[in-house]
Amino acid sequence: MNSTDKSKFPLVVIVGGGFGGLEVAKALADEPVDVLMIDKHNYHTFQPLLYQVATGSLEAGSIAFSLRKNFDDQKNFRFRMAEVTKVNADENTIDTSIGEIAYDYLVIATGSTTNFFGNKDIEHNAMSMKSIPEALNLRYMILQNLEEAVLQKTKEEREPYLSFVLVGAGPTGVELAGALAELRNHILNKDYPELQKEHMKVYLVDFLPKVLGAMSDQASAAAKDFLTKMGVEVLLNVKVESYDGNEIKFEGGKSIISKNVIWSAGVTGVVPEGFNEDIILRGNKIGTDNICRAEGYSNIFAIGDVAAMVTPETPKGLPGVAQVAIQQGKNVGKNILRIIRGEPTEPFKYFDKGSLATIGRNKAVADLGKIKFQGFFAWMVWMFVHLISLLGFRNKVVVFVNWVGSYISNNGGSRLIIRRYVKEPVLMDEEAVPKSE
């Protein structure tokens, strides 16, 4: 499908195959519209389980699902694997890596990427985990550094390879810290008898005064207690100053020698070029009206992590969670059809279904409205919700079998180094590169 394709139906172009993009496409099924989804990957990623890919508990294929296969019964759906570089609103076209594509309605559902807050040294030396390739890189780095630790002769030489610092105590940091603590407590001595688990350190760092800042005080306190009992050192009210690949320094003088710094301290929206700068709000998000339409545009919508719906009730916008994107996607799909039919649109209203976070085996926290609970039952609820939310019957079965096997053996995962992870070198600025005469 390209800008020269002709159809009697309006063309809805969806940029992004995440939770929100999927719901827009599903809402338009069997309707008199053509749907074109564009994504740089040809699969949907179930991001809540990326940390299990990073720690070797799950294989990448079990949390990814083909976008084409997911919509193979939807006759008005097409997919193109490409990157969108610019929106040309005046011409109703977008520039992509496969050429120019026209649209009648455009939905930006590009999500977010890791925010390093302008610190280039941290961006280059720390690891992030927002995609499957990044999660696999993180897995290989962890395993390679454990292998390196085995080769070192003294405790001091092993320390940088066995120290893991997670910056950001949101759900990603908490869940990854718990997974690494379980790896140390139950697996390290089995796989690496030369190493002592007491020498492997896991630190969880945040500049806020609590872990899981978006959840209740009850959930935060329980999560911190779980982590502490598992041997994680939780450092709160601490701000990172720098990281050079060997030592992470904090304001106030404290530092940790580590080759394993994982950054999940913030996100920033992925916005294509071409939008009026006046509507790009904090966090690099597109400001929208109450039907998720980009401010100042009549036929462009933005949903999920890349959008900011600022209202008196939500002065900071809506939380960056999957449920927001899912509900917005359904609303936008229905409103596009209402606009086409000349019917009144329906304002978006977010219904908070609650928050869940797992810390490890038999340990999770749950805030479900006024009902708040922790421990084994919360862990069971967390597993059930995530299992039913996965795309594809095979993925559900594979993940369930992996979880059962890991629970019984307490030694799940493959932990194979299929390919080595090698950090890309820092490139010099063009003007700093000597030019030949």
Q: For residue 427, what pLDDT band results from cuts at 50, 70 and 90? A: low
The pLDDT of residue 436 is: 37
Q: How would you class 274 by CB atoms within 10 Å of its CB: exposed for 0-12, middle for 13-18, buried for 19 or more?
A: middle
The pLDDT of residue 413 is: 78
The pLDDT of residue 428 is: 47
Mean pLDDT in residue range 427-436: 43
**Beta strand 112-114 pairing with 267-269:** antiparallel
Residue 243, pLDDT > 70, answer yes
What does residue 280 show for φ and ψ, rounded to 5 degrees? -85, 110
The amino acid at 140: Y
The set of residues, in sequence order, having a beta carbon less than 8 Å from that of 227 and lying 6+ positions away, is 174, 177, 178, 181, 204, 211, 234, 359
Indicate where the chain has its CATH 3.50.50.60 domain(s). 11-114+268-341, 121-264
Task: Quote the tokens at residue 164.
Answer: 């893991």
Q: Quick one: CA dihedral 201, 206, 209, 211, positive or negative?
A: negative
242 to 236, 246, 427: CA distances (angstroms): 17, 10, 19
Classify domain 11-114+268-341 by CATH number. Answer: 3.50.50.60
The pLDDT of residue 4 is: 42
The pLDDT of residue 430 is: 43
The set of residues, in sequence order, having a beta carbon less than 8 Å from that of 137 and lying 6+ positions away, is 127, 421
The pLDDT of residue 8 is: 85
Sheet holding 240-243, edge to edge: 240-243, 247-250, 255-257
Mean pLDDT in residue range 154-183: 95
The pLDDT of residue 418 is: 87
Residue 434, pLDDT > 60, answer no
Mean pLDDT in residue range 180-194: 93
Residue 164, pLDDT > 90, answer yes
Which tens digits make up the pLDDT trace of 219-236?
A: 999 999 999 999 999 999
Task: Quote the tokens at residue 406.
Answer: 């890991």
Q: For residue 184, what pLDDT band results from cuts at 50, 70 and 90? A: very high
Q: Quick one: CA dihedral 125, 84, 331, 317, positive or negative?
A: positive
In SS3 terms, the chain reads as CCCCCCCCCCEEEEECCCHHHHHHHHHCCCCCCEEEEEECCCEEECHHHHHHHHCCCCCHHHHEEEHHHHCCCCCCEEEEECCEEEEECCCCEEEECCEEEECCEEEECCCEEECCCCCHHHHHHCECCCCHHHHHHHHHHHHHHHHHHHHCCCHHHHHHHHEEEEECCCHHHHHHHHHHHHHHHHHHHHHCCCCCHHHCEEEEECCCCCCCCCCCHHHHHHHHHHHHHCCEEEECCCCEEEECCCEEEECCCCEEECCEEEECCCEEECCCECCCHHHEECCCEEEECCCCEECCCCCEEECHHHEECCCCCCCCCCCCCHHHHHHHHHHHHHHHHHHHHCCCCCCCCCCCCCEEEEEECCEEEEEECCEEEECHHHHHHHHHHHHHHCCCHHHHHHHHHHHHHHHHHCCCCCCCCCCCCCCCCCCCCHHHCCCCC
Mean pLDDT in residue range 367-388: 95
The set of residues, in sequence order, having a beta carbon less than 8 Å from that of 41 and lying 6+ positions away, is 17, 81, 131, 132
Mean pLDDT in residue range 272-301: 96
Residue 104, pLDDT > 70, answer yes
The pTM of this model reads: 0.90
The pLDDT of residue 88 is: 97
Mean pLDDT in residue range 326-354: 96
The set of residues, in sequence order, having a beta carbon less than 8 Å from that of 262 and lying 6+ positions away, is 126, 127, 128, 129, 138, 164, 165, 166, 167, 173, 176
Residue 432, pLDDT > 60, answer no
Catalytic residue ranges: 175
Residue 2, pLDDT > 50, answer no
Within 10 angstroms of residue 402's Cβ, the number of other Cβ atoms is: 18
CB–CB of 37/14 below 8 Å? yes
User: What proportion of the chain, given as a percentage, has pLDDT over 70?
Assistant: 95
CATH class of the 121-264 domain in this structure: alpha beta
The pLDDT of residue 5 is: 53
The pLDDT of residue 412 is: 74
End-to-end CA distance of the chain: 47
Residue 266, pLDDT > 80, answer yes
Q: For residue 7, what pLDDT band results from cuts at 50, 70 and 90? A: low
Mean pLDDT in residue range 21-41: 97
Query: Mean pLDDT of all residues in the chain?
Result: 92
The pLDDT of residue 6 is: 56
Mean pLDDT in residue range 156-185: 96
Residue 347, pLDDT > 70, answer yes
> When comparing pLDDT for 1 and 246, which is higher?
246
